[in-house]
Each structure stands twice: as structure tokens, then as C-alpha cells.
Amino acid sequence: MEQIRQTVKKFILENILFEDDENALDYDDSFLEKGIIDSTGVLEVVSFIEEEFNISVDDDELVPENLDSVNKLAKFVNEKTGS
């Protein structure tokens, strides 16, 4: 789980925020509220976790409860992979 968190955080930092500074993002920061991703950016995150963790995200799983922070994402991926 911790490793998923780190991987997801690194992806968001480098590819969405283009940042090095680890402090630029907290694990619980809401992507929507902080304007970290726009509505099209969601699909970018989904495409990343699908490839990186070899999972498939269904349309009805595309909800903020699953995807809106590093912690939520990690939890979601963790459940999907069953690890």
C-alpha cells in the first residue's frame, strides 16, 4: 500500500504538477478542490493507474471517492489489485 502511495504521488507531482518538491502535495489534498486536475485530467490519472498497476477501471468507478486524492487513489488501487 505504501509503495502504491509513493508511486501515485510521484506520478502526480512530476506529470501533473511538474514539481520536484515533495511538499507541493499532501496525501489528502483534493485534486478537485486544489485545482490539481481538470475534468479531462481525470482520464490521464485513470490511464496511468490502469497501466502501472495492471487494472481496469469501470465507468461507474470513475467517481471522486475513488480518485480525488493520493490516499483515495492508493486505497482504490489497493482494493482492485487485492494486495
Partner 1 sequence: MCGIAGIFNLHKDKEILIDNLRRMSAIINHRGPDGFGFYKDERAGLAHARLSIIDLKGGWQPIHNEDKTIWITFNGEIFNYIELRETLISKGHRFYTKSDTEVIVHLYEDYGVECLKYLNGQFAFAVWDKNNGKFFVARDRVGIRPLFYTFVNGSMIFASEIKSLFTDSRVKREIDPFALDQIFNFWMAIPPRTAFKDVLELPAGHYMVVEKGDCKIEKYWDLDFTPEGSIKSEEEYAEELKELLIDSTRLRLRADVPVGAYLSGGIDSSVITALIKKYTNNPLRTFSVAFHDEVYDESIYQKKMIEYLNTDHTVIKCSYSDIAKVFPDIIWHTETPILRTAPAPLYMLSKLVRDNGYKVVLTGEGSDEILAGYDIFKEAKVRKFLERDPDSKIRPLILKRLYPYLANSPTKSLQYSKAFFSINTNNYSDRYYSHIPRWDMTSKLKLFFSDHIKEELNGYNNVDDLSVLLSNDIDSFDYLSKAQYLEIKTLLSNYLLSSQGDRMAMGNSVEGRFPFLDHRVIEFCCKLPPNLRMQTLTEKYILKKSMNSLLPESIIKRTKQPYMAPDSKSFFAGETLEYVEEMFSDNALKRCGCFEIKKTRRLFEKCRKGLSIGFKDNMAFVGILSSQLLHHRFIDQFPTHTLNEIDETKEQIIEVV
Q: What phi and psi values does residue 5 have, to the nearest 5 degrees?
A: -55, -45
CA distance 25 to 21: 8
In the complex, least distance from residue 27 CB atom to partner 1, rounded to whole angstroms: 19
Residues in contact with partner 1 by the rule CB under 8 A: 14-15, 17-20, 32-33, 35, 37-44, 47, 59, 62-64, 67-68
Nearer to partner 1, 2 or 59 (CB): 59
In the complex, least distance from residue 80 CB atom to partner 1, rounded to whole angstroms: 17
**Residue 21: what residue type?**
D
Nearer to partner 1, 3 or 40 (CB): 40
CA distance 69 to 76: 10
